[in-house]
Chain A
Amino acid sequence: MKIKKVTALVLASVMALSLTACGGNKNETSEGGEAKESKGVIELKFPTYLAGENVGATFFLPEIERFNEKYEGKYKITVEEVPQASYADKIKQLAQQNKLPVLVHAPGSGGIDTQWFKQIVLANDMAYDLTEFAEENPDVAANWIPESREFCTVDGKLICKPTSVLKPVGLYYNSSMYTPDKDIRDMTVDEFVDSLGDNKIAFMTAENGWTTALMLTALIANEEGGVELLNSSVNDKLWDYSAPAFVNGVAKLQTILQNNASSNTVGAAYADAANAFMSKNAAVICNGSWMAPEFEEGSADKWSNGFNGEDVKATIYPGNIAFANPSSYGEFWIANTATDEEKEAAEAFLAFRDSQEEIEELVLTEGGVAPQLTYSDNFLAELKKTPLLYELSESMNDETTYCASLGDVFPASVADTEFGKLLPKLIDNTLTPEEFCDELTKKAEEAKQ
């Protein structure tokens, strides 16, 4: 009898413990990524959002393949595909567990916010100092934009790889629906709104309200003191939205949203806004150069209602304003916890990414400018074959004003959710522009530590 009881007790204990074990990590390798050396090849694995349906995948995944091909037998990179919306959460969780992947996307990309980066990563010395890497690779460092390099240098340490390519954000319009008398760049905001007539703009209110935030940035930048307000708020973020430039910009946005927004604006996510534009339900969409491949023949399966990518024109905003923020954290940083082999492979990748060939390939695929680079003749010839990117780069002249976008100056939770959530109330007049700005200020206040 006693044996039966003891056996039952042991079984009960095993069952209880196995329940706990079920919740445990099944493998011993790092969740964030790993590096292992087999037959002399240093293999590196890290998560990225530049994969799957993300527009950045078009360039990034082939770039990884080119890297693996070039360094065959020495380094090998494999990526773990993570949706953009989950990337930042994953990285934050891995940081808490001290299991950061070797290469991490820089703040300002993939939802990684600068507040977290400063408060957690920099405060706890989790980013590897790339100063030595810069000294050992002067040809690579020469391609970096000086403002970005300065921004990435914190307490004498180079904590991110600075950016080499600026991707100015402008707008696209469908010339078969909307034919402005002159370049939008040379118009005032009022002239632009008048010129639209009944044409619609593809706005969003869901997700982060990205395309709407871009238009609001342009409207604020056209107000007196607007550009200064935006550009001076990049480092410490903008927490108070009661400045006249901001309130006036919101007032103009309200009018545009009520008169010229595509019918699906309320509740529209990015895909809905893009769909409105590529189905001729909207004549204008605000977005960056990375959207240009959507208007090439290869993406024709996304077009409907007689939309033709050849009709799309690119330019910048009224008042000769383009959004670009050279004072940014660049593209990638290396975790301090990585082993020497991992750091070696990661640095090789960063050097590869900033080689002349790769930079030119990036500009040809996603658009942008590399101000520190002397372009090759071949590149210039190829650029002319991508008319939209060429148009966008030609639309900027010596008098163009560059300013940071709201995405660069909003605190993370305001940029990610709160801005978009308040927009429907601005559209249906539940909130006046002043009340909208007050609510936004309250939300920013809540996000403060």
Chain B
Amino acid sequence: MVKKQKVKISKLERRNYKWIYLFLLPSLLIFLIFYLQPIITVFYTSLTKWDGFNTPVFIGLKNYMDMFTNDAFRISLKNILLWSLIAGTLHVGFGVLVAFILYHKPKGWKFTRAVFMVPNVISAAAWAMIYRFIFNDDMGILNNIIRKINPDFHIQWFYESPYAFWAVTFTWLFYAVIVTLIVLNDLMAIPEELTEAAKVDGATGWQITRMIHLPLCRNAIGTGVICSITSRVAMYEQIALTTAGGPGDDTMNLPIILVKAIQDMKYGYANANGVIMFILGLIILAIVNRVFKMNESVY
């Protein structure tokens, strides 16, 4: 039985604590002033009627009650749930797959990695505009290809139910470069001896991937899932510049409602929306942490 040893902190280390706290102080102050204070303001004003200009008037939970009885909000939650499922499975899965392929360094892997990176250096707004052209019925490449087979084919992907939801999904589905990079980074860090030992024991390539590499990348994949899902919760440009949440409310999500509320000078309502997004983010973090056991060491 391993006896727990009490870790002794040396005098020198204790003396260094003072400096550690001092070094942290500037960042901590900035966090308090520029992050924590706005977050508290958002929480407080979500309980008020506020036009963004005059003094907020406390109205309790009315904004939240209005929100939960609003059709657009309910559709947004449904959309976020669906997008989160797609992001956590297909999107992250694709990113991981690419990382594993690149890990084996096939011919031209560096070029592929660079190409895969390109969409990430183009702004989401620019991508949205590009997709508006791709999915355009008249001049879009997609429909023109389909019309080679079926000349009568006409769908405006971003503006017709139920296609709009899937068209918006397609604008981000395969751009998983962040997932690929963090997983690839973890793969590269796996000690060569582990793979060698498995090979000596007669493990096949698939067994090595499934039993060694995948478990050792658990934290990176978990981080990828968190990034992907929180990006879906906060997704704005891709929707605002393509469907604006339409047709009807088919592609509505929380940031679109938030911005619309600001345009209607309902800052209290907008901030209540912000609070829900914040809480959703925390829930996602907690779930993914638990599922991927991210607080435990992989080695």
Contact = CB atoms under 8 A, between A and B. Distances in A.
Interface of A: 5, 8-9, 12-13, 15-17, 19-20, 89, 95-96, 115-116, 119-120, 123-124, 205-206, 263-264, 266-267, 411-413, 416-417, 420-425, 428, 430-431, 439, 442, 446-447, 449
Contact of B23 (A8, A95, A413, A430): A8
B265 A266 contact: no
Contact of B248 (A120, A439, A447, A449): A439
Given A417-B244, A421-B245, A13 B26 contact: yes
Contact of B264 (A267, A413, A428): A413
Given A5-B19, A12-B23, A206 B159 contact: yes
Interface string B14-57: 00000100110111011000100000000000000101111000
Nearest to A116: B265
Nearest to B243: A421
Contacts of B49: 449
A364 B138 CA distance: 36
Most chain A CB neighbours (cut-off 10 Å) among B53, B137, B154, B243: B53
Given A96-B53, A421-B245, A424-B156, 4 more contacts: A20-B30, A119-B51, A267-B137, A417-B246
A176 to B, nearest CB: 22
A120 B51 contact: yes
A446 B63 CA distance: 11
Contact of A422 (B22, B137, B248): B248
A5 B19 CA distance: 8
A120 B265 contact: yes
B246 A424 contact: yes
Contacts of A9: 19, 22-23
A428 B161 contact: yes
B247 A422 contact: yes
Contacts of A264: 137-138
A423 B159 CA distance: 9
Given A16-B27, A120-B51, A263-B154, A446 B264 contact: yes
B71 interface: yes
A447 B266 CA distance: 8
Most chain B CB neighbours (cut-off 10 Å) among A266, A412, A439: A266
A287 to B, nearest CB: 21
Contact of A20 (B34, B54, B265, B266): B34
9 contacts: A8-B23, A9-B23, A119-B265, A267-B159, A413-B263, A420-B246, A421-B245, A430-B247, A439-B248
A89 B34 CA distance: 23
| Chain A interface SS verdict (over half) | helix
Contact of A266 (B25, B34, B159): B159
A446 B266 CA distance: 10
A442 B71 contact: yes
Nearest to B34: A20
A96 B52 CA distance: 7
A199 B82 CA distance: 42
A425 B161 contact: yes
B136 interface: yes
Contacts of A20: 30, 34
A305 to B, nearest CB: 13
Contact of B260 (A15, A89, A417, A423): A417
Interface residues of B, number: 38
Contacts of A428: 160-161
B263 A205 contact: no
B27 A266 contact: no
Nearest to B135: A267
Contact of B265 (A115, A124, A442): A115
A155 B19 CA distance: 64
B23 A266 contact: no
Contacts of B247: 421-425, 430
Contacts of A412: 263-264
A449 B261 CA distance: 10
Contacts of A263: 137-138, 154
B70 interface: yes
B274 to A, nearest CB: 17
B236 interface: no
Contacts of B246: 417, 420-422, 424
Contacts of A267: 136-137, 156, 158-159
Contacts of B23: 8-9, 12
Contacts of A89: 263
A412 B260 CA distance: 10
B265 A16 contact: no
Given A17-B26, A266-B160, A446 B265 contact: no
A424 B30 contact: no
Question: Lowest 10 A-B CB distances belong to which pairs?
Answer: A421-B246, A16-B26, A267-B159, A424-B247, A267-B156, A266-B156, A13-B26, A447-B264, A266-B159, A424-B159
Most chain A CB neighbours (cut-off 10 Å) among B23, B27, B246, B249: B246
Interface in B226-261: 243-249, 260
A5 B16 CA distance: 10
Contacts of B260: 413, 417
Interface in B72-110: 72
A416 B49 CA distance: 23
Contacts of B158: 267
A267 B133 CA distance: 11
B265 A424 contact: no
A310 to B, nearest CB: 26
A264 B22 CA distance: 63
Contacts of A422: 246-248
Nearest to A206: B159
B135 to A, nearest CB: 9
